[in-house]
Structure 1
């Protein structure tokens, strides 16, 4: 059996976060938005010479080298900071395609010079290019400087007004006193001009912000038409996780297995897999977006855990499934590691798969839909 060209395999899957195709290079220069979006997201390819229905048309009537020069000059003219995509020709079964490939940029954010950073900055959401908000522009700038949102100071909150008891109790349970020095080393607080301030990470862990909550729902059947139960959990992050776990357990079916004279009742879905997925959702969600929260939906046939924010820092689902780890919230991740809630980075998805395989149930589905995972 003849092996298909790798690019053809990508095209057959259709347009995505990392792939877009055109029959020919649009004269409107709208294609530049796609290149900017790729550079601000996870990188990607714009393939020219492919129809919307994924048919290879080719560019036999074009001077490809002239077209490549035109693309380079247009990018230099329209985009800031300077972005240098890789432009090359792919020959698939005698059909010549032109590929504009760009990696995730190191000088985030990229934008159209004519519109400026505030209006001309784009990101790739699914298979579309979206203008990013001012908050998202700031987030891209943080990513460029390798600064996580949860490590930033919140100057509006007086540290002395916060009740640190929930966090202190968690650390005490692991024989790790939460001393002032520990708070500083974990970046839960920071010193600015001889004054200690809480970081967003500390406030998130304490459940200080309204959007730091988990909403759980049990639906009748396989749709969202009818609620059977609904709970919204706030408070410190650890209590939220425990409450969500209890909610899920209360609504999962048990199955009995008899081994010899012993009967064992187990959940229909292995609970360690669900707990791993829940911890990942809490640890990696986008807390800089104050308008959304984690949602857990339990149906007759599935448990669905939805976390705000796409995959962090240009990570693709393909990379995540292979074990690559990118930490969006460094403070929260460090605390989870300190409290043994995380074993090792990049192993969560693999463990979830292993739990499900061992339980002889279908493999879980991991997906990125729009700005949610």
Structure 2
């Protein structure tokens, strides 16, 4: 999130969906407010910001503080929920941002008590409110990802994918206890119970979920011209465990995202960038796979590549609480499939709840592309991302660290943020190192793989 956006948010003060906590040690306040947001309409907790919006920051080591918060929420908040805990830099003062969605499994309990949000206050729920929360949950239809998958057996399970997720979970979420038993791993992720695998577990971890759920396939098509029609030269149907499908689509997108060499009007300096911001494509793909409606057999997801744009379509519609205009500004997180979303987060495919659309807009702006366009219709949700064929107004050169890295490495080589810091950016903070690498990714010189401590950046041939 941009620094000026955060500071403007702090000046507005606390409200029904924003809470400031001055000290990270105030774990009780953090836990109660997270529970209250889950039980109402979701919200964001900013740790390191005073009640009056004054910036205090979070002292180092901030990464260890994040682990403490994650462990506390995992151990003391029930039932478990998808909550993201991330670090944001504001000058030299890092803060911690906790994004909490509106919960699907209410009532949520923290240390045996139920809390709700009332205006800018977090308060215990009275008996009438508890009855209301319980009754609403009883009457609500079970969401698609939580239903038991018909005829899926242990033989269908991709155990390697399950174990890879467990390893990532231990790195990404301090509250995830180590285990190598597949059923126990999936149980902790709400993807298996005694009756069998859930449909969310099937989509994520079976070798071929399309056998039972044909709507899970993803279509990737490349058209000859910008007019929608039947003239195409590449059409593929991709299937498999959902994270593997995401990787397949990412490789297809990388193959068509050609670099362009441009010169700014003010100088003869050469600038080489991708036609599409990789970060925008990645966020758009994740949104299409995670937030789509899986319940309709006639549904699906489709990535259509045209000469000057890429369209991401998925079946379903935006939640009632959101409009396409809301996607262009800060908005509450309303995950359609929170169990699926949590696995994508643990595997490093998602960073924060409710921020993906803003990242798409910012990434497109940074490379000089037209603003992306969202359309919500009866047939589904479509996001259109446009190619950038000219330099943005403020094209920047590489800094010395980035230039040294590009000079010293070869296409195909991998480097972790820690190795980048040790070799090219000694003395730089981990957050500044990440900014260097994200910038290189947006300019098409590296590709990110993995998540959390396992993250590496692959040098591309550009």
TM-score bin, normalised by smaller chain: 0.5 to 0.7
Deviations 1:83-125 (A, max 9, x none): xxxxxxxxxxxxxxxxxxxxxxxxxxxxxxxxxxxxxxxxxxx
Answer whether contact 1:294 1:307 (CA < 8 A) is retained: yes
Could you tell me the TM-score, scaled by structure 1's length? 0.56
1:356 aligns with 2:364: yes
Query: In 2, distance between residues paired with 1:144 and 1:268?
Result: 48
| Residue in structure 2 matched with residue 234 of structure 1 by the alignment | 239
Q: Aligned pair count?
A: 229
1:41-56 equivalences in 2 (<5 Å): none
Answer whether contact 2:225 2:307 (CA < 8 A) is retained: yes
| Residue in structure 1 matched with residue 400 of structure 2 by the alignment | none
Shift of 1:309: 0.7
Query: In 1, distance between residues paired with 2:338 and 2:250?
Result: 24
RMSD of equivalent CA atoms: 2.7
Shift of 1:170: 4.3
Answer whether contact 2:166 2:185 (CA < 8 A) is retained: no
Q: Give the secondary-structure state (helix, strand or coil) at the position aligned to 2:281.
A: helix
Answer whether contact 1:154 1:199 (CA < 8 A) is retained: yes
| Residue in structure 1 matched with residue 81 of structure 2 by the alignment | none
Query: In 1, distance between residues paired with 2:150 and 2:369?
Result: 49
Shift of 1:214: 1.2
Deviations 1:119-143 (A, max 9, x none): xxxxxxxxxxxxxxxxxxxxxx999
Shift of 1:351: 0.5
1:210 aligns with 2:210: no
Deviations 1:253-294 (A, max 9, x none): 321246999855321111110110000000000011122221
Deviations 1:297-341 (A, max 9, x none): 111111001011111355322333332221111210111122222
Shift of 1:225: 3.4
The 3 A distance-change label for structure 1 pair 159 and 315 is farther
Query: In 2, distance between residues paired with 1:190 and 1:361?
Result: 46
The 3 A distance-change label for structure 1 pair 253 and 142 is farther
Query: In 2, distance between residues paired with 1:163 and 1:199?
Result: 14
1:339 aligns with 2:347: yes
Could you tell me the TM-score, scaled by structure 2's length? 0.45
1:191 aligns with 2:191: no
Computing the radius of gyration from Cα coordinates, the structure with the larger value is 1
Query: In 2, distance between residues paired with 1:151 and 1:313?
Result: 21
Answer whether contact 1:313 1:328 (CA < 8 A) is retained: no
Query: In 1, distance between residues paired with 2:369 and 2:242?
Result: 30
Answer whether contact 2:328 2:361 (CA < 8 A) is retained: no
1:169 aligns with 2:164: yes
| Residue in structure 2 matched with residue 365 of structure 1 by the alignment | 373
| Residue in structure 2 matched with residue 252 of structure 1 by the alignment | 257
Deviates more, 1:144-153 or 1:266-275: 144-153
| Residue in structure 1 matched with residue 230 of structure 2 by the alignment | 225
Shift of 1:173: 5.6
